[in-house]
Structure 1
Amino acid sequence: MSDLHFLELLELTELIHAGKLSPVEVVQDQLQRIETVDATISSYVAVSADSALQAAREAEAEIKAGKIKGPLHGAPVAVKDLCWTTDAPTAAGTVVRAGFMADEDATVVRRLREAGAILLGKLALTEGAYTDHHPDIAAPKNPWGHAHWVGASSSGSGAAAAAGLCYAAIGTDTGGSIRFPSGANGITGLKGSWGRVSRHGVFALAPTMDHVGPMVRSARDAAAVMAAIAGADEQDPTALLAPVPDYLTETGKGVKGLRLGIDAQWLSDVDGPAGAVLDEVKRIAGQLGMELVEVKFPDSRQIVMDWFPQCGSEVAVEHEQTYPSRQAEYGPSLAGLIELGRGTSGLDYQKLVLRRLDFTGRVRRVFEDVDLLLAPVQGFSAPTCEWMAGLGVNVETVRRLHQYTSPFDSSGNPTITLPGGFTKEGLPIGFQFIAGHLKEDLLLRAGVAYQQETDWHRKHPKI
């Protein structure tokens, strides 16, 4: 089958469950594509070929016997190399953790395996899941154009899902790390409410803001993966206890009557291409029967800047066993964040906590009046790698990069990122819907409805 590698996950497993495709043949196809295509993209840091083929043989036997575990059964997937696995090391994009072998799978990995998904390997990321890749480790390339930003920190997850090197990827998001690479690579990414997916066995950046979620080719695929990985976990007491809905069934409810919040002033800080995407989303939302409601989003400028010392303080704790004792093995970006955290006083940290609580409450009030909120991923479309390399010298530009992402890690609100168009150079542009606490079902309903009216998610890089 031509372009087998670009099928959506649910399209693939429908064919597998009907006996029209073999899980073994699909895994072999994926491994061959990784060997050839990933030589130039560098999205994988470890490929578990032997265990993937063994899992594929087991899945094939189970499916032939009529023991189908669910919609993920037989689908090859990959996970960000923050997630512990017993069949490959977990280095977290660092040198200091190189060679770490876990004695158990992360909960998210275990749940994927239990759902019948086949793990192909581990995907590259920035050092420690912060902004930059370690200087000694190859950074993934954007399959749409190597000169353009691939997104951070789930860079390998975004590149692999876009390039047809897995049918679903797991990413994490602390300041935008599911949303940036989803937007940059033209895929769909779901960041659930904080605690919706267990973080057990996932190396932390900043635990109070870390989110785990799927990066896939469609909102329906996101619904299927989220249903498999979400839920309470005895090994992670911060995982939410709320029951997990049947997200796939929920997507069939449509969006007629849902209220979409628009803050025109908040959305004005975007470039022309991103603004055009938002205008088209508003048009389609109205066409689908959503009610567009004017809202006033809380001033987020301070909370965006607070994110850095807040994150730095938490990451300093996470790395205190190796920093500063092994400081020479750290790249400058992560080391700088740790130093920022170590230099934050207790008094200043408490002020961060209080401002974050205040902001979270104000965001909660927004969703008293609307069901969803519209936002870009970032205000400037498809930045080049060269431009991003100079980002740190301009505080205002750093704020603009984070203004639509990190506030929702601070507040813990769920978001979905969807492809919404392209620049004139042919680079993807994404946008976000944001929802209230535990309202992932509304995000997925909106994502599926939008993708039934558009085909941006069916566009793929020519590689």
Structure 2
Amino acid sequence: MNPMPPALHYLELSELATQLQARTASPVEVTRALLDRIARLDPSLRAFALLTADDAMKQAEVAEVEIKNGRYRGPLHGVPIAVKDLCWLQGHPTAAGMPIHQDFYPPEDASVVRRLKEAGAIILGKLQLTEGAYSDHHPSISAPKNPWNPEYWPGISSTGGAAATAAGLCYGSIASDTGGSIRWPSAATGLTGLKPTWGRVSRHGVFELAATLDHVGPMARSAIDCALLLAAIAGPDPKDPTALLAPVPDYARLARQQIKGLRIGVDPEWNDDDVDPAVQTVLSQTVEIFRSLGATILEVQCPDVTSAITDWTENCAVEAVVAHEATYPARKQEYGPVLASVVEHGREISATSYQKILVRRLQLRGRMAALFEKIDLLLTPVHPFESLTLEAIQTLGEQPQLIFKLQRFTCPFNMTGNPTITLPGGFAEDGLPLAFQLVAAHLGEPALLRAGTAFQAVTNWHRRHPLA
């Protein structure tokens, strides 16, 4: 018996694109259907900080006419997506999860938004996030819910993007990741999330948390979908001189190549030390799947990242001081307690301490680069435990070891700038998704996408959805 085809709202972006190009689906009808679904589900999910329904319908009407007249722009043309409310959207406020910015109307679109529009994507609106993209929502904001179970953590900080994409409110979302904010939400909600190489995607018009740690990338339902989104938003940008000048390859074509001979490194000690059995099971099963697909599995020893995890907190805090210097401490009383404490901490760190962090960071980057001379990809957990309840997450401030464990497999790769992909790899006994992470050398996104596409061709974890 053939499996039931997915409902319209749960099609992969690439599947919808095929229908739109063939004109068996209508941008107007699809957008209207998603807006109706948002109206029905988002009052409880709270994924959207701002819904731009009128603009979305106008964009859909334009896309429909263009496609009908043979002016097809590519696989994002007519596809409804949404962006994290860090990204400037001209004509609409960008709050960054902060009431202090709720009346900020940017002078232009962020570069990622402009590129999405040029590709013909339909922007449904802005997605909610933790305050300033740090670890907690502002006390005045109702936090997005995990659509798999509202009592469980939806991740940090791209919470709205995870909820909306997983619940079928959009076909993909643009997020950011400073220490795990694409990877944690993707893992928590069964999504595929790509954190590109630092600088692969322009940060112009994207509210900063920590400039040298911030990565902008997609969350979607499959590796192919991430490839299509990355191809649209990546590349040099005169408005962001830190954006890499390397040309943008055809990620979707490269993603479909076989992985025979691809070298995947596994560090048994790092992956097994204090890692929950369910996560270890996902990793071991993943290794066997990749081996069956022709990949070469190599045992490696990763550089010690212990100091990098501690250094990340200090590094982020210092850079957050710069990001918030226009409003902190001048409007300190309008900040939530968690973000305020981070900025305060950053103001106390000496220049000497910060310089030592920068040197250690460069050393770690060099050691990671040496590791990727021997392998193409590194397999790790996203975090070493199963899905966390909201009750457990609320104790983070009282459990420094829990914070350390949460950051253990994510923050080091913001310190080095390496690209990563998060892939759903199973489910826990409580019914919540489990995931794993692959890491590549700088500009190694094609290898990540190849491995993710090959894995998803023989598994169906990414095709399971939380709601009808």
In the superposition, the TM-score normalised over structure 1's length comes to 0.99
**After superposition, what is the alpha-carbon deviation per residue over 1:299-353, rounded to whole angstroms, capped at 9, x for unaligned?**
1111001101100000011111111111111111101110110000011111111
Q: Which residue of 2 aligns with 1:52?
A: 56
User: For 1:360, which of 358, 365, 370 is the aligned residue?
Assistant: 365
Matches within 5 A, 1:15-414: 15-268=19-272, 269-414=274-419
Question: Distance in 2 between the 1:130 and 1:98 partners?
Answer: 17
Question: Distance in 2 between the 1:426 and 1:397 partners?
Answer: 22
Q: Which residue of 2 aligns with 1:4?
A: 8
In structure 2, the gaps of 5 or more residues are none
Question: Distance in 2 between the 1:431 and 1:96 partners?
Answer: 36
Question: Distance in 2 between the 1:124 and 1:432 partners?
Answer: 24
In the superposition, the TM-score normalised over structure 2's length comes to 0.98
Question: Distance in 2 between the 1:323 and 1:87 partners?
Answer: 26
Segments ≥4 residues shifted beyond 4 Å: none
Comparing 228-237 with 389-398, greater Cα deviation is found at 389-398
Q: Which residue of 1 aligns with 2:442?
A: 437
Question: Distance in 1 between the 2:72 and 2:33 partners?
Answer: 22
Letter in 1 for 2:392: W
**After superposition, what is the alpha-carbon deviation per residue over 1:120-157, rounded to whole angstroms, capped at 9, x for unaligned?**
00000000000000011010000000000000000101
Where 2:375 maps in the other structure, the secondary structure is coil
Letter in 2 for 1:296: Q
Where 1:292 maps in the other structure, the secondary structure is strand
Given that 1:51 and 1:87 are in contact with CA atoms closer than 8 Å, whether structure 2 keeps it comes out as no
Question: Distance in 1 between the 2:58 and 2:30 partners?
Answer: 13
1:420 aligns with 2:425: yes
Letter in 1 for 2:368: V
Task: Report the CA distance between 1:281 and its aligned residue.
Answer: 0.4
Question: Distance in 2 between the 1:240 and 1:50 partners?
Answer: 35
Question: Distance in 2 between the 1:76 and 1:83 partners?
Answer: 16
Question: Distance in 2 between the 1:366 and 1:392 partners?
Answer: 34
Given that 1:144 and 1:185 are in contact with CA atoms closer than 8 Å, whether structure 2 keeps it comes out as yes
Task: Report the CA distance between 1:87 and its aligned residue.
Answer: 3.4
**After superposition, what is the alpha-carbon deviation per residue over 1:91-114, rounded to whole angstroms, capped at 9, x for unaligned?**
000121111111100000000000
Where 2:16 maps in the other structure, the secondary structure is helix
Question: Distance in 2 between the 1:368 and 1:392 partners?
Answer: 38
Question: Distance in 1 between the 2:324 and 2:355 partners?
Answer: 21
Task: Report the CA distance between 1:2 and its aligned residue.
Answer: 7.0
Question: Distance in 1 between the 2:141 and 2:116 partners?
Answer: 28
Given that 1:230 and 1:244 are in contact with CA atoms closer than 8 Å, whether structure 2 keeps it comes out as yes
RMSD: 0.9
**After superposition, what is the alpha-carbon deviation per residue over 1:227-284, rounded to whole angstroms, capped at 9, x for unaligned?**
0100000000000000011001101211100110000000013101111110110010
Letter in 2 for 1:193: T
Question: Distance in 2 between the 1:397 and 1:370 partners?
Answer: 30
Question: Distance in 2 between the 1:409 and 1:190 partners?
Answer: 13
Where 2:100 maps in the other structure, the secondary structure is coil
Given that 1:88 and 1:121 are in contact with CA atoms closer than 8 Å, whether structure 2 keeps it comes out as no
Letter in 2 for 1:266: W
Task: Report the CA distance between 1:381 and its aligned residue.
Answer: 1.1
Q: Which residue of 1 aligns with 2:460?
A: 455
Given that 1:142 and 1:159 are in contact with CA atoms closer than 8 Å, whether structure 2 keeps it comes out as yes
Question: How much identity, in percent, do the aligned residues show?
Answer: 54
**After superposition, what is the alpha-carbon deviation per residue over 1:44-75, rounded to whole angstroms, capped at 9, x for unaligned?**
01110111000000000000011110011010
Question: Distance in 1 between the 2:228 and 2:50 partners?
Answer: 25
Letter in 1 for 2:215: H
Question: Distance in 2 between the 1:325 and 1:180 partners?
Answer: 32
Question: Distance in 2 between the 1:96 and 1:284 partners?
Answer: 48
Task: Report the CA distance between 1:397 and its aligned residue.
Answer: 1.4
Where 1:145 maps in the other structure, the secondary structure is coil
Question: Distance in 1 between the 2:312 and 2:28 partners?
Answer: 45
Task: Report the CA distance between 1:17 and its aligned residue.
Answer: 1.1
Comparing 1-10 with 209-218, greater Cα deviation is found at 1-10
Given that 1:381 and 1:423 are in contact with CA atoms closer than 8 Å, whether structure 2 keeps it comes out as yes
Question: Distance in 2 between the 1:385 and 1:30 partners?
Answer: 28
Task: Report the CA distance between 1:462 and its aligned residue.
Answer: 2.4
Where 1:398 maps in the other structure, the secondary structure is helix
Task: Report the CA distance between 1:394 and its aligned residue.
Answer: 1.8
Letter in 2 for 1:77: I
Where 2:72 maps in the other structure, the secondary structure is coil
Given that 1:259 and 1:371 are in contact with CA atoms closer than 8 Å, whether structure 2 keeps it comes out as yes
- Count of equivalent residues: 463
Question: Distance in 2 between the 1:138 and 1:66 partners?
Answer: 44
Task: Report the CA distance between 1:457 and its aligned residue.
Answer: 0.3
Question: Distance in 2 between the 1:3 and 1:289 partners?
Answer: 33
Where 1:96 maps in the other structure, the secondary structure is helix
Where 1:200 maps in the other structure, the secondary structure is coil
Question: Distance in 2 between the 1:336 and 1:96 partners?
Answer: 16
